[in-house]
Structure 1
Amino acid sequence: MSDTPEAQVNLFDAETQRCPYDAYKTLRDEAPVYQCPATGMYVITRFDDVRQILTDTEHFTNETAYLTDATEPSPRALAVRNTFQEEGWVPAKTLNGRDDPDHKAVRSVFNDAFRPKKIEALDDEVRDLAYQLIDDFIDDGHCEWVKQFAIPLPLLIIGKQMGANPDDIWQIKEWTEAFFHRISLMQSEEEELISVRKEIEAQHYFQPIFERLRENPDDSLLSALVNTVIEEWGRPLNDNELHAEMMADTFVGGSETTTNAISAGVKLLIENPLVWEQLQSDPDRYLKVFIEEVLRLESPVQSLMRATAKDVELSGVTIPAGSLINIRFAAANRDERRFDNPDALDLDRPRAGGHMAFGSGKHHCLGAPLARRELHWSFKALVDRIDSMWFAEGKNDFSYHPHYLLRAMKSLHIEFKAK
């Protein structure tokens, strides 16, 4: 492993997070298994190494990845836990923080909710909402794309499945953003505790819904989460588990990441006008590949954590058991060893879906089919309603929320000529 100076590659730096791709290339080429001096964690950036971690359950584990079970939690971690305990519910491990057999057991609850027939049943609703949202501002000739389209589309879809009132969408967005920022690894302790209290507000909003669905189940995703008895456990999810899943795997996993892909896609189209023309020329031919290229180039989940269960070697570097691992999906998705001309947005790219924006192996994103349909109708509505578009002059700074794990544009002001 080469000695890449921390001053050269610092993934905690907000400016690096704004455009991390040069840093990723440096790490892939010079230090594909890089031990961060500040944290001691190992950052993994090559495609084959990332795929090995995701599929090798003997050497890599999820159980200690977020250090939720540390025997001696830090004063900060204790303050967070005590606040949840005193004012709400302490979130349990989520799907991403579990290994089998618990992971398989909990995932079975989601498997039914996201089976193909249920996703297909939502398709008309997603389509209608996409056109409704774009028609709300089409006559204006301009919009703030993130707030007026990219946020409400997936949030309204998943919110309905979670039993939320559509009128509460922006309140729910505030709560999901609190969780989003709390897991960013970029907050001070004071900021984290503010986020915790916003999450607790969400817990008190959803707790009566849980209780109502226990008394009167319906056909929603949330009702399935609340009432399905996990065979291996002999019980359904408890309140602590439900509140954890609501934030991590439904609202953030089911809306935040899709929002960020919808935002990134429009930015990429404006930056690549020839690709926009190509997509317009034959959307039936090119739309599917475009969606996969957006996911590959601007992976909404930039990275996640794992830990080593045993000593293991990657790219010639031995990583000791008990080490924290940061797997960089976004770096792997631009690996020259895997993809030809990886920084290009290429609508003729063969096997375009061969990226890892949704992970791989047992932890492959359950919501990927729904996300792809939401992306499909978002960009299909764009092609059908807009002839040309450009960045609104003087209104964009193209800034991103500071985040070590996810990639989220703050806003995107565009102007356009409607068809």
Structure 2
Amino acid sequence: MTSTADLHEFNPMVSPHREDPHLFYKWSRAESPLTFAPALNAYMVTRYDDIKTIVDDPDTYSSANAIPVMWTNPPEVLEVLGGLVPEASTVVNADEPAHAPLRHVLDHAFSGRRVRRLVPAMTTKANELVDAFLVGDTADLVGQYADPYVQLVVSLVFGIPPQDVDTVQAWTNDYMLLMNPLAPVDGKLEAARRLHDYQAYIDAMAADRRAAPQEDFMSDLVHGGDGFPPVSHGDLHYMFRGLRFAGHDTTRDLMTSTLLLLLDHDRTLWTEVQADRRRLPRVIEEALRRDAPHRGLMRVTTREVALNGTTLPAGTSLLLLFGSANRDETRFPDPDAADPDRPNVREHLAFGSGIHQCPGAQLARTEVRIAIETLLDRLPDLHLAPGYIPSHIASYFFRGLERLAVAW
């Protein structure tokens, strides 16, 4: 049984919130829409209107602390990190006027033209992965499909060669661990040691693109592009590392949560989409709303401000829980239900809002659509494996399935 204390002390790394964060979200929206979390030294914000107010007012609510940085780690971890390029700006943590030039780089990197150019590679990779697991009659669509598929696509965007994909993913996991304020110090020390190799890899890749530019994100960073100059050395490292992990986990988790939505409840939505593929984009949006793959981002007040009846002094940190906003009863009636036909299905905050709305949203939607269409074509009788019970990863940043067992 979940105690009141367990319910109110939100920690997505442990039970009961790892399995069901909506226990806390629902309580908080009703009883305590601004809940202080001592471990984060921040207020957690859970109502849709409050979060929308914050993200649409960047002058009052700065993004300077949007995601944790490595230099907030314990002293023993910082000692191991010594010698790394100091973290500079990333589009997620920047306010205006620094934000606009960095956003211009990303809008170019994730443009519709770049996304369309990747569609043939997405289709080929999806079919290769299906071919590989068709030798049996069951599969885990997290480990055998979504994860390698998204790794391939995000690596193509960044210019990472196929033989380096697994190594870069391991470094990306290390980087994510170092930014997790709830992770154990021992693990952080090991990750910090390995990050020096990651820095050397990024420097070598940047040098290669300076000599021989390609149609990829690294070339954009070192050469500039359509109306924007090259970024600084520090910006290059921070943007490459940060966006590499953001582009992988969120899309993988969106893909598998959409598939679970399609295959759950007697495959009702799977059957509907099989009959009319035009319904698939709305199902993807409903999956984004019901299970936002990114839990939330931080903001800090730039002045004293009243929010939902609470006066917050300047310098107050806020954690915006998008997953809660997306199930706010005042915005989405019957919020726990899966209803792709709800009229405001695209008003979710899974990709944020305002100037910081996710620049990779079009890429993510396209990746997921191509991957699911491939399964619809190749495995029309796909269904959840008998006895499968969904379980979610222990993650501070992301909400995603550990595995998705299916059969056909």
Normalising by structure 2, report the TM-score.
0.91
2:82 maps to what in 1? Answer: 85
Give the Cα–Cα distance (whole angstroms) in 2 for the partners of residues 165 and 174 of structure 1: 15
Q: Tell me whether 1:154 sits opposite 2:146 in the alignment.
A: no
Residue 277 of structure 1: which of 271, 277, 293 is its match?
271
Cα pair distance change 1:66/1:171, threshold 3 Å: closer
Q: How does 1:189-228 map to 2 (within 5 A)?
A: 189-228=185-224
Q: Tell me whether 1:63 sits opposite 2:64 in the alignment.
A: yes
2:395 maps to what in 1? Answer: 403
Give the Cα–Cα distance (whole angstroms) in 2 for the partners of residues 300 and 18 of structure 1: 14
Give the Cα–Cα distance (whole angstroms) in 2 for the partners of residues 94 and 210 of structure 1: 17
Any runs of at least 4 consecutive aligned residues in structure 1 with deviations exceeding 3 A, and if so which? 4-7, 37-40, 64-69, 76-82, 229-232, 389-394, 396-399
Three-state SS of the structure 2 residue aligned to 1:327 is strand
Q: Tell me whether 1:131 sits opposite 2:127 in the alignment.
A: yes
Shift of residue 30, structure 1, vs aligned partner: 0.8
Contact 2:262 2:270 in 1 (8 A): yes
Shift of residue 189, structure 1, vs aligned partner: 1.7
Q: Tell me whether 1:95 sits opposite 2:112 in the alignment.
A: no
Shift of residue 39, structure 1, vs aligned partner: 3.9
Contact 2:129 2:145 in 1 (8 A): yes
2:7 maps to what in 1? Answer: 8
Cα pair distance change 1:373/1:337, threshold 3 Å: same
Cα pair distance change 1:229/1:287, threshold 3 Å: closer
Shift of residue 5, structure 1, vs aligned partner: 5.8
Cα pair distance change 1:33/1:63, threshold 3 Å: same
Three-state SS of the structure 1 residue aligned to 2:89 is coil
1:31 maps to what in 2? Answer: 32
Shift of residue 307, structure 1, vs aligned partner: 0.6
2:47 maps to what in 1? Answer: 46
1:414 maps to what in 2? Answer: 406
2:305 maps to what in 1? Answer: 312
- For residues 134-180 of structure 1, give each alpha carbon's deviation from its aligned partner in whole angstroms, at most 9, with x where no partner exists: 23223422112111111111211121232222122222222222223
For residue 405 of structure 2, what is the amino acid of its counterpart?
A: H
Residue 170 of structure 1: which of 166, 169, 176 is its match?
166
2:176 maps to what in 1? Answer: 180
Shift of residue 183, structure 1, vs aligned partner: 2.6
Contact 1:306 1:326 in 2 (8 A): yes
Shift of residue 65, structure 1, vs aligned partner: 4.6
Give the Cα–Cα distance (whole angstroms) in 1 for the partners of residues 100 and 35 of structure 2: 31
Cα pair distance change 1:339/1:202, threshold 3 Å: same
Shift of residue 347, structure 1, vs aligned partner: 2.6
Three-state SS of the structure 2 residue aligned to 1:12 is coil
Q: Quick check: 190-199 or 240-249, which moved more?
A: 190-199
Give the Cα–Cα distance (whole angstroms) in 1 for the partners of residues 260 and 27 of structure 2: 25
Aligned CA-pair RMSD: 2.4
Shift of residue 206, structure 1, vs aligned partner: 2.4
Shift of residue 229, structure 1, vs aligned partner: 7.3
For residue 259 of structure 2, what is the amino acid of its counterpart?
A: V
Give the Cα–Cα distance (whole angstroms) in 2 for the partners of residues 118 and 229 of structure 1: 13
2:318 maps to what in 1? Answer: 325
Q: Quick check: 212-221 or 267-276, which moved more?
A: 267-276
Residue 137 of structure 2: which of 135, 138, 141 is its match?
141
Identity rate of aligned residues, in percent? 29
Three-state SS of the structure 1 residue aligned to 2:7 is coil
2:20 maps to what in 1? Answer: 19
Contact 2:68 2:180 in 1 (8 A): no
For residue 6 of structure 2, what is the amino acid of its counterpart?
A: A
For residue 288 of structure 1, what is the amino acid of its counterpart?
A: P
Cα pair distance change 1:67/1:367, threshold 3 Å: closer
Give the Cα–Cα distance (whole angstroms) in 2 for the partners of residues 138 and 325 of structure 1: 47
Shift of residue 37, structure 1, vs aligned partner: 4.3
Three-state SS of the structure 2 residue aligned to 1:192 is helix
Unaligned runs of 5+ in 2: none
Contact 2:66 2:92 in 1 (8 A): no
Cα pair distance change 1:209/1:65, threshold 3 Å: closer
Q: Tell me whether 1:385 sits opposite 2:350 in the alignment.
A: no
Q: Tell me whether 1:239 sits opposite 2:233 in the alignment.
A: yes
Contact 1:176 1:247 in 2 (8 A): yes
Contact 2:46 2:324 in 1 (8 A): yes
Cα pair distance change 1:25/1:195, threshold 3 Å: same
Q: Quick check: 267-276 or 294-303, which moved more?
A: 267-276
Give the Cα–Cα distance (whole angstroms) in 2 for the partners of residues 111 and 164 of structure 1: 19
Shift of residue 50, structure 1, vs aligned partner: 0.6
Give the Cα–Cα distance (whole angstroms) in 2 for the partners of residues 304 and 379 of structure 1: 28
Cα pair distance change 1:382/1:120, threshold 3 Å: same
Contact 1:186 1:403 in 2 (8 A): no
1:343 maps to what in 2? Answer: 336
- For residues 60-107 of structure 1, give each alpha carbon's deviation from its aligned partner in whole angstroms, at most 9, with x where no partner exists: 0012455759xxx76x44444443333x43332321111111111111
Cα pair distance change 1:39/1:152, threshold 3 Å: closer
